[in-house]
Structure 1
Amino acid sequence: MNEWMHIIVSSVLFVVTLFAITKIGGKKQLSELSFFEYVSGITIGSIAGEVIMGLDGNLFHGVLAIVIFGSFTFLHDLLGIKSKKFSEFFEGKATVIIKDGKVMEENLKKEKYTIDELNSLLRQKNVFKTSDVEFAVLEPKGDISVLLKKELIPITPKDLNMPVAPEKETYTVIMDGNVMHDQLASVGKNKGWLDIELDNLGVTIENVFLGQVDSYGKLSIDTYDDQLQIPSPQPRKLLLAMLNKCQADLELFALGTESTSTKEMYNKNAKKLQEAINKVRPFLKE
């Protein structure tokens, strides 16, 4: 086998082998790899490069070495899932580094982190003062988990007992000027509806780079012309305004009639409509 053929055959063989190893290894991101997995990955890559370019090397010896390293990595992950003690031994345990706003100096030294490195990790979590932290843990992967003091945690709608509309997946229905019919059908819409919405926005489908429909059926688009201002359709706000007007009209009719029974009917229906508006208001706000 000449040099060129050796390089071609070995490259194809190792691409297939490495692909198989990575598929078996799962979908971990680089930042989620343990030190052992990281070193194993570098070693596997070094073996592949050495055998590919080492013209006197044995291809199958290289494949065997990669399979062995890949098997150890897979076995390490498998045992880590099955045994907590094994996982803690190889990957370490989470370490508390801040408690009640105070840095745990001994734990910080144990993990070989400096104050500057700690501050850098906190800034990545948008925290700039250690005194603002109730609890911070250094995870085995090297990132940090932070719990702010209760008075500094942002208020959520749940804290205020405010009902909010659920959010679901957004579907891309236009991509690079082409209609994605499967995605359009997934949101219960068709091409006719899309044409009407685009006509209301004053654009043609050929001018749309990206079009998406949210869980409420609202179409948002991005055109090729970045200078073009697209009006935002607000059908939900218009519906909310119409409901409020109807409720106000019922109250006005109640004030304008002399009949007690009619007045009672208008007030009763105005109250029912107001209750309905209160329930659907979170879904109709933009």
Structure 2
Amino acid sequence: MPDWLEVALRTLFAVVILFLMTRLLGKRQISQLSFFEYITGITIGSLAAYISMDLESHWLLGLVSLIVWVLVSLGIEFLQMKSKKVRDFIDSKATILIKDGKILEDNVKKERLSSDELLQQLRKKNVFKTADVEFAVIEPSGEINVLLKKEHQPLTPSHLGITVGPEPEPQTVIMDGKMMDEPLATIGLSREWLYTELEKIGVTIENVFLGQVDAYGQLYVDLYDDKLQVPEPQQKASLLAQLKKCEADLEMFGLSTDNETVKQMYEQCSNQLKQIITDVRPLLIR
């Protein structure tokens, strides 16, 4: 067999084996890998290259070594899942770097971080003053997570005592100029509805690079031609305007009648509608 053909076949075999082995090891982002997992990844890649290129050695030896590395990694992952002591030994523990706005210098030196590196990591979290930090910890992966003090945290509905319901994820109904039937069916919409919405904004489906429908049934599109401006959906703004008009009409009807019973009825309806508008306004001005 010619050398080039053998290299091609061995490389193809190595790619298939490497794919199967990495699928077996599971999914992890690079930033989430422990030191041992990082070394394992490098070693498995080197072994795959050895299987591909070293024609003087038998490919079966490289395969045995590759399988042993994968089995050892799986065994260690299993032990980590079963024992916290093993996890702490292999991955190490998280280390507190800042507490109550005070930098813990000994812990920073222990993690071999300079002041500049610590400040750089804090800036990545949009934190520019260490005094604003309630708690900062460096995870075993090397990522620094920060908890701001209460007075410096962004205002959320929970701080205002407002209960907000869950919002379903937007559904991608157009991709690369083609309609996606399954997402449309998921949100209970039809092709006719989508064509009608596209007609409202004056575009054809072939010109749409990406189209999404949010939880409120509003269609947002991104066109292939970036110079074209597509108007924003106005359904929610229109609904809010109609509700306000109804409230104003009820107030006017109440003022225009001399019948006290009817006047009170209109005022009561107007007040109820005003409360409804107050409740739904956060949803309609998004």
Q: How does the TM-score come out when normalised to structure 1? A: 0.95
CA contact (8 A) 1:163 1:282 kept: no
Secondary structure of the structure 1 residue equivalent to 2:174: strand
Which residue in 2 is equivalent to 1:274? 274
Kindly state the Cα deviation for residue 142 of structure 1 after the two structures are TM-superposed. 0.6
Residues 167-222 of structure 1: CA distance to partner in whole angstroms, max 9, x if unpaired? Answer: 21111111122111222222211121111111110112222111111111100011
Kindly state the Cα deviation for residue 263 of structure 1 after the two structures are TM-superposed. 1.2
Kindly state the Cα deviation for residue 163 of structure 1 after the two structures are TM-superposed. 4.7
Q: Please identify, of 36-45 and 153-162, the stretch whose mean Cα deviation from structure 2 is larger.
A: 153-162
Which residue in 1 is equivalent to 2:85? 85
CA RMSD of aligned residues (A): 1.5
Which residue in 2 is equivalent to 1:111? 111
Structure 1 residues 249-264: aligned runs within 5 Å: 249-264=249-264
Residues 217-266 of structure 1: CA distance to partner in whole angstroms, max 9, x if unpaired? Answer: 10001112211111112111111111111122112111111111111221
Structure 1 distance, partners of 2:236, 2:51, is 64
CA contact (8 A) 2:11 2:53 kept: no
- 2:3 corresponds to 1:39: no
Which residue in 1 is equivalent to 2:124? 124
Which residue in 2 is equivalent to 1:232? 232
- Once the two structures are aligned, what percentage of the paired residues are identical? 50
Aligned residues: 286
Kindly state the Cα deviation for residue 164 of structure 1 after the two structures are TM-superposed. 4.1
CA contact (8 A) 1:240 1:284 kept: yes
Kindly state the Cα deviation for residue 126 of structure 1 after the two structures are TM-superposed. 1.5
Which residue in 2 is equivalent to 1:147? 147
- 2:218 corresponds to 1:218: yes
Structure 2 distance, partners of 1:175, 1:62, is 43
Q: How does the TM-score come out when normalised to structure 2? A: 0.95
Q: Please identify, of 170-179 and 31-40, the stretch whose mean Cα deviation from structure 2 is larger.
A: 170-179
Which residue in 2 is equivalent to 1:29? 29
Residues 29-85 of structure 1: CA distance to partner in whole angstroms, max 9, x if unpaired? Answer: 111110001111111111221232111111111011001011111111111111000
Amino acid at match of 1:205: I
Amino acid at match of 1:251: E
Amino acid at match of 1:150: K
Q: Please identify, of 77-86 and 125-134, the stretch whose mean Cα deviation from structure 2 is larger.
A: 125-134
Which residue in 2 is equivalent to 1:60? 60
Secondary structure of the structure 2 residue equivalent to 1:113: coil
Structure 1 distance, partners of 2:205, 2:147, is 47
Amino acid at match of 2:40: S
User: Unpaired segments of 5 or more residues in structure 1?
Assistant: none
User: Unpaired segments of 5 or more residues in structure 2?
Assistant: none
Which residue in 2 is equivalent to 1:185? 185
Structure 1 distance, partners of 2:227, 2:2, is 58
